[in-house]
Amino acid sequence: MMIRLDGQVAIVTGAGGGLGRAHALLLARRGARVVVNDMGEGADAVAAEIVAAGGEAVAAVGSVIDVDFVDRMVADAHRTWGRIDILVNNAGILRDRSFARMELDDFRQVIEVHLMGAVICTKAVWDIMRGQAYGRIVMTTSSSGLYGNFGQSNYGAAKMALVGLMQTLGLEGEKYNIRVNCLAPTAATQMMEGLMPEETVQLIRPEYVSPAVLALVQADAPNRAIIAAGARSFEAARISLTRGVHVGGELDDLPEALLERWDEVVDPADDFVPRHAFEQSRLELEKAGQTPGEA
Protein backbone atom coordinates (compact mmCIF):
# COMPACT_ATOMS: atom_id res chain seq x y z
CA MET A 1 0.00 0.00 0.00
CA MET A 2 1.35 3.41 -0.95
CA ILE A 3 2.41 5.63 1.93
CA ARG A 4 0.35 8.83 1.90
CA LEU A 5 0.71 11.94 4.04
CA ASP A 6 -2.40 13.80 2.91
CA GLY A 7 -3.35 16.61 5.27
CA GLN A 8 -0.15 16.37 7.26
CA VAL A 9 2.23 19.27 7.81
CA ALA A 10 5.98 18.76 7.60
CA ILE A 11 8.90 21.05 8.40
CA VAL A 12 12.19 20.19 6.71
CA THR A 13 15.26 22.18 7.75
CA GLY A 14 18.19 22.76 5.44
CA ALA A 15 15.84 22.03 2.54
CA GLY A 16 17.13 24.54 0.01
CA GLY A 17 19.23 21.87 -1.71
CA GLY A 18 20.76 18.42 -1.40
CA LEU A 19 19.19 15.98 1.02
CA GLY A 20 16.71 18.46 2.48
CA ARG A 21 15.37 19.35 -0.94
CA ALA A 22 14.97 15.66 -1.83
CA HIS A 23 13.16 15.02 1.46
CA ALA A 24 10.84 18.00 1.00
CA LEU A 25 9.95 17.06 -2.59
CA LEU A 26 9.16 13.46 -1.67
CA LEU A 27 7.02 14.42 1.33
CA ALA A 28 5.11 16.88 -0.86
CA ARG A 29 4.58 14.28 -3.60
CA ARG A 30 3.03 12.02 -0.96
CA GLY A 31 0.57 14.73 0.08
CA ALA A 32 2.25 16.64 2.89
CA ARG A 33 2.14 20.40 3.18
CA VAL A 34 5.77 21.39 3.54
CA VAL A 35 7.61 24.21 5.27
CA VAL A 36 10.89 24.50 3.37
CA ASN A 37 13.52 25.98 5.65
CA ASP A 38 16.99 27.16 4.69
CA MET A 39 19.27 30.14 5.08
CA GLY A 40 19.09 31.39 1.50
CA GLU A 41 16.95 31.70 -1.59
CA GLY A 42 17.11 27.97 -2.20
CA ALA A 43 14.16 27.63 0.18
CA ASP A 44 12.02 29.83 -2.07
CA ALA A 45 13.03 27.84 -5.13
CA VAL A 46 12.15 24.49 -3.57
CA ALA A 47 8.82 25.78 -2.24
CA ALA A 48 8.01 27.15 -5.70
CA GLU A 49 8.94 23.80 -7.25
CA ILE A 50 6.51 22.01 -4.95
CA VAL A 51 3.71 24.47 -5.69
CA ALA A 52 4.34 24.23 -9.44
CA ALA A 53 3.91 20.46 -9.17
CA GLY A 54 0.53 20.91 -7.51
CA GLY A 55 1.59 20.66 -3.87
CA GLU A 56 1.42 23.04 -0.94
CA ALA A 57 4.56 24.61 0.47
CA VAL A 58 5.92 27.77 2.00
CA ALA A 59 9.50 28.92 2.36
CA ALA A 60 10.92 29.87 5.74
CA VAL A 61 14.26 31.61 5.32
CA GLY A 62 16.31 31.75 8.49
CA SER A 63 18.68 29.95 10.81
CA VAL A 64 17.75 26.94 12.95
CA ILE A 65 19.84 28.37 15.79
CA ASP A 66 17.78 31.57 15.87
CA VAL A 67 15.18 30.74 18.51
CA ASP A 68 12.88 33.64 17.65
CA PHE A 69 12.91 32.74 13.96
CA VAL A 70 12.20 29.06 14.63
CA ASP A 71 9.34 29.93 16.97
CA ARG A 72 7.83 32.19 14.28
CA MET A 73 8.28 29.55 11.59
CA VAL A 74 6.47 26.93 13.66
CA ALA A 75 3.76 29.36 14.81
CA ASP A 76 3.11 30.50 11.24
CA ALA A 77 2.80 26.92 9.97
CA HIS A 78 0.53 25.96 12.85
CA ARG A 79 -1.66 29.03 12.36
CA THR A 80 -1.91 28.40 8.62
CA TRP A 81 -2.51 24.66 8.61
CA GLY A 82 -3.63 23.87 12.17
CA ARG A 83 -1.07 21.21 13.05
CA ILE A 84 2.55 20.08 12.78
CA ASP A 85 2.96 16.38 12.11
CA ILE A 86 6.52 15.94 10.89
CA LEU A 87 9.87 17.54 11.61
CA VAL A 88 12.96 16.53 9.67
CA ASN A 89 16.07 18.02 11.29
CA ASN A 90 18.41 18.12 8.33
CA ALA A 91 20.24 21.47 8.53
CA GLY A 92 23.99 21.24 8.96
CA ILE A 93 27.42 22.60 8.16
CA LEU A 94 30.96 21.25 7.89
CA ARG A 95 34.16 22.67 9.34
CA ASP A 96 36.48 19.73 8.71
CA ARG A 97 40.00 19.73 10.09
CA SER A 98 42.11 17.41 12.20
CA PHE A 99 41.55 17.91 15.90
CA ALA A 100 45.11 19.19 16.39
CA ARG A 101 44.47 22.00 13.90
CA MET A 102 40.84 22.73 14.67
CA GLU A 103 39.87 26.03 16.23
CA LEU A 104 37.44 25.80 19.13
CA ASP A 105 35.10 28.20 17.34
CA ASP A 106 34.82 25.70 14.47
CA PHE A 107 33.98 22.98 16.96
CA ARG A 108 31.34 25.11 18.68
CA GLN A 109 29.75 26.26 15.44
CA VAL A 110 29.22 22.73 14.15
CA ILE A 111 27.81 21.60 17.50
CA GLU A 112 25.54 24.66 17.53
CA VAL A 113 24.03 24.12 14.08
CA HIS A 114 23.68 20.34 14.10
CA LEU A 115 22.82 19.66 17.73
CA MET A 116 21.34 22.88 19.07
CA GLY A 117 19.57 23.56 15.78
CA ALA A 118 17.79 20.23 16.12
CA VAL A 119 17.07 20.90 19.80
CA ILE A 120 15.61 24.34 19.07
CA CYS A 121 13.40 23.10 16.22
CA THR A 122 12.24 20.06 18.16
CA LYS A 123 11.46 22.12 21.25
CA ALA A 124 9.35 24.46 19.11
CA VAL A 125 7.11 21.63 17.84
CA TRP A 126 7.15 19.39 20.91
CA ASP A 127 4.15 20.82 22.77
CA ILE A 128 2.10 20.99 19.57
CA MET A 129 2.79 17.32 18.89
CA ARG A 130 2.02 16.37 22.47
CA GLY A 131 -1.25 18.30 22.34
CA GLN A 132 -2.40 16.60 19.14
CA ALA A 133 -1.08 13.19 20.32
CA TYR A 134 0.86 12.70 17.12
CA GLY A 135 4.32 13.53 15.85
CA ARG A 136 7.12 12.11 13.77
CA ILE A 137 10.64 13.53 14.16
CA VAL A 138 13.77 12.58 12.25
CA MET A 139 17.26 13.52 13.44
CA THR A 140 20.03 13.39 10.84
CA THR A 141 22.96 11.54 12.32
CA SER A 142 25.98 10.21 10.42
CA SER A 143 28.36 7.28 10.22
CA SER A 144 30.99 9.86 11.20
CA GLY A 145 29.29 10.04 14.58
CA LEU A 146 28.45 6.37 14.88
CA TYR A 147 31.86 5.09 13.81
CA GLY A 148 34.21 8.07 13.51
CA ASN A 149 35.88 9.77 10.56
CA PHE A 150 39.26 11.46 10.35
CA GLY A 151 39.03 15.26 10.44
CA GLN A 152 35.44 15.33 11.69
CA SER A 153 35.69 15.35 15.47
CA ASN A 154 33.27 18.29 15.68
CA TYR A 155 30.82 16.84 13.16
CA GLY A 156 31.05 13.35 14.63
CA ALA A 157 30.47 14.61 18.17
CA ALA A 158 27.38 16.55 17.06
CA LYS A 159 25.98 13.65 15.08
CA MET A 160 26.41 11.15 17.90
CA ALA A 161 24.82 13.62 20.31
CA LEU A 162 21.73 13.58 18.10
CA VAL A 163 21.47 9.83 18.65
CA GLY A 164 21.39 10.39 22.40
CA LEU A 165 18.77 13.10 21.96
CA MET A 166 16.68 10.78 19.79
CA GLN A 167 16.88 7.92 22.30
CA THR A 168 15.58 10.04 25.18
CA LEU A 169 12.93 11.94 23.22
CA GLY A 170 11.69 8.65 21.82
CA LEU A 171 11.08 7.47 25.37
CA GLU A 172 9.52 10.73 26.54
CA GLY A 173 7.29 11.08 23.49
CA GLU A 174 6.07 7.50 23.31
CA LYS A 175 2.89 7.97 25.34
CA TYR A 176 1.95 10.95 23.15
CA ASN A 177 2.42 8.94 19.94
CA ILE A 178 5.52 10.96 19.09
CA ARG A 179 8.09 8.73 17.42
CA VAL A 180 11.66 9.90 17.06
CA ASN A 181 14.24 8.24 14.81
CA CYS A 182 17.64 8.86 13.27
CA LEU A 183 18.74 8.82 9.65
CA ALA A 184 22.39 8.24 8.72
CA PRO A 185 22.60 9.19 5.02
CA THR A 186 25.21 8.58 2.36
CA ALA A 187 24.62 11.13 -0.35
CA ALA A 188 26.45 13.46 -2.69
CA THR A 189 25.67 16.98 -1.49
CA GLN A 190 27.35 20.37 -1.64
CA MET A 191 29.23 19.43 1.54
CA MET A 192 30.90 16.56 -0.40
CA GLU A 193 31.52 18.42 -3.66
CA GLY A 194 34.77 17.48 -5.36
CA LEU A 195 35.50 14.57 -3.05
CA MET A 196 34.48 11.73 -5.40
CA PRO A 197 34.18 10.88 -9.12
CA GLU A 198 31.01 11.68 -11.04
CA GLU A 199 29.94 8.05 -11.47
CA THR A 200 29.96 7.64 -7.69
CA VAL A 201 28.02 10.88 -7.27
CA GLN A 202 25.27 9.50 -9.49
CA LEU A 203 25.03 6.34 -7.39
CA ILE A 204 24.57 8.24 -4.16
CA ARG A 205 22.11 10.92 -5.21
CA PRO A 206 20.10 12.43 -2.32
CA GLU A 207 16.87 11.10 -3.84
CA TYR A 208 18.01 7.57 -2.98
CA VAL A 209 18.09 8.43 0.74
CA SER A 210 14.70 10.13 1.08
CA PRO A 211 12.62 6.91 0.99
CA ALA A 212 14.05 6.17 4.44
CA VAL A 213 12.66 9.50 5.67
CA LEU A 214 9.23 8.54 4.38
CA ALA A 215 9.45 5.24 6.24
CA LEU A 216 10.42 7.04 9.45
CA VAL A 217 7.59 9.60 9.36
CA GLN A 218 4.61 7.49 8.23
CA ALA A 219 1.86 6.46 10.63
CA ASP A 220 3.38 3.07 11.46
CA ALA A 221 6.90 4.42 11.85
CA PRO A 222 9.28 2.74 14.28
CA ASN A 223 10.52 4.52 17.37
CA ARG A 224 14.19 5.03 18.26
CA ALA A 225 15.56 3.40 15.11
CA ILE A 226 18.83 4.38 13.44
CA ILE A 227 18.48 3.81 9.69
CA ALA A 228 21.41 4.15 7.33
CA ALA A 229 20.58 4.89 3.71
CA GLY A 230 22.39 5.48 0.43
CA ALA A 231 22.62 4.24 -3.16
CA ARG A 232 19.14 2.69 -2.81
CA SER A 233 20.39 0.52 0.06
CA PHE A 234 19.20 0.61 3.66
CA GLU A 235 20.64 -0.72 6.90
CA ALA A 236 19.89 -0.48 10.61
CA ALA A 237 22.62 0.62 12.99
CA ARG A 238 22.48 -0.57 16.60
CA ILE A 239 24.10 0.52 19.83
CA SER A 240 24.39 -2.78 21.64
CA LEU A 241 25.75 -4.03 24.95
CA THR A 242 27.75 -7.22 25.39
CA ARG A 243 26.76 -9.64 28.13
CA GLY A 244 30.19 -9.11 29.69
CA VAL A 245 31.41 -10.79 32.86
CA HIS A 246 31.26 -10.33 36.60
CA VAL A 247 34.89 -10.18 37.66
CA GLY A 248 34.49 -10.17 41.45
CA GLY A 249 37.42 -10.34 43.84
CA GLU A 250 39.15 -7.66 45.86
CA LEU A 251 38.94 -4.01 44.82
CA ASP A 252 42.70 -3.61 44.43
CA ASP A 253 42.82 -6.63 42.12
CA LEU A 254 40.01 -5.50 39.80
CA PRO A 255 42.09 -3.61 37.16
CA GLU A 256 44.34 -6.60 36.48
CA ALA A 257 41.45 -9.06 36.69
CA LEU A 258 39.54 -6.98 34.15
CA LEU A 259 42.47 -7.06 31.72
CA GLU A 260 42.81 -10.83 32.13
CA ARG A 261 39.16 -11.29 31.08
CA TRP A 262 39.07 -8.51 28.48
CA ASP A 263 38.25 -10.87 25.60
CA GLU A 264 35.14 -12.04 27.47
CA VAL A 265 34.08 -8.45 28.18
CA VAL A 266 34.16 -7.48 24.50
CA ASP A 267 32.83 -10.77 23.11
CA PRO A 268 29.87 -9.75 20.87
CA ALA A 269 28.11 -13.12 21.19
CA ASP A 270 24.58 -12.63 22.53
CA ASP A 271 24.91 -8.85 22.66
CA PHE A 272 21.64 -6.94 22.87
CA VAL A 273 20.13 -3.49 22.42
CA PRO A 274 19.07 -2.06 25.81
CA ARG A 275 15.55 -0.66 26.01
CA HIS A 276 16.73 2.21 28.20
CA ALA A 277 19.74 3.34 30.25
CA PHE A 278 18.82 1.26 33.30
CA GLU A 279 19.35 -1.95 31.34
CA GLN A 280 23.10 -1.55 31.87
CA SER A 281 22.78 -1.30 35.64
CA ARG A 282 20.21 -4.12 35.65
CA LEU A 283 22.63 -6.41 33.80
CA GLU A 284 25.51 -5.54 36.09
CA LEU A 285 23.51 -6.05 39.28
CA GLU A 286 22.13 -9.36 38.05
CA LYS A 287 25.63 -10.63 37.31
CA ALA A 288 26.60 -9.55 40.82
CA GLY A 289 23.83 -11.72 42.24
CA GLN A 290 21.24 -9.01 42.82
CA THR A 291 17.68 -8.88 41.44
CA PRO A 292 16.95 -5.20 40.82
CA GLY A 293 13.39 -3.92 40.90
CA GLU A 294 11.65 -2.66 37.80
CA ALA A 295 13.28 0.62 36.68
Q: Rounded to 5 degrees, what are φ and ψ at 114?
A: -70, -55
Surface-to-core class of residue 259, CB atoms within 10 Å of its CB (0-12 exposed, 13-18 middle, 19+ buried): exposed
Coil, helix or strand for 185?
strand
In order of 68, 89, 106, 110, 225, the CA distances from 95 in angstroms are 25, 19, 6, 7, 27
- The amino acid at residue 256 is E
Tell me which residues are annotated as active site.
Answer: 155
Number of helical H runs and strand E runs in the chain: 12, 8
Q: Rounded to 5 degrees, what are φ and ψ at 101?
A: -105, -5
Instruction: Report yes or no: 99 and 150 within 8 Å, Cβ to Cβ.
Output: no
